[in-house]
Amino acid sequence: MKAVTVIPLVKDSLALRDMPKPSPKRGQVLLGPIEVGVCGTDKDIIEGRYGAPPPGEEYLILGHEAVAEVIELGDGVDNVGVGDIVVPTVRRPTTCTLPITELDYCPRGTYAEHGIWYLHGFAAEFAVTDSQYLVKVPKEPSMLPYSRSH
């Protein structure tokens, strides 16, 4: 699969690379990203200011802001289904024990972040993430708080 990658802490290492297609493990889903945001964090990572690849890897797939379609379910996933549209949250606790609703308060060094620290991001043809950190997007535009049809 194609993915937008950097070598963290190496300025101007941005590249489109062929990477292995990930497979979901127990509790995870395979996503097909639809849209990926780009922000100042990505700019700083591309400029070599910070970031870290997953353990044992050289590259980091960028993209910590995304809307994606659920493509495949790993064993034990029952909160989303294939075809659901979701927004994956960024932060995953490593040693932080705060409730899932308070992960933004975890002290630095107690979490990983997709596309920033220790987890691949979503700027790829496919991505995996833990299903418990997905926010479903309503399928009907009329269910959204703001719709162009109104």
d(CA 59, CA 36): 18
Give me the architecture of the 2-137 domain, per CATH: Alpha-Beta Complex (3.90)
**29-39 CB burial, b ≥16 within 10 A, e <16:** bbbebeebeee
Token look-up 């308070």 returns 102
Beta-carbon contacts of residue 140 (< 8 Å; ≥ 6 apart): none
Using an 8 Å Cβ cutoff, are 135 and 87 in contact? yes
Model pLDDT for residues 5-45, shown as the tens digit of each residue: 999 999 999 999 999 999 999 999 999 999 999 999 999 99
AA identity, residue 118: Y
Model pLDDT for residues 90-113, shown as the tens digit of each residue: 999 999 999 888 888 899 899 999
Q: What is the pTM of this model?
A: 0.89
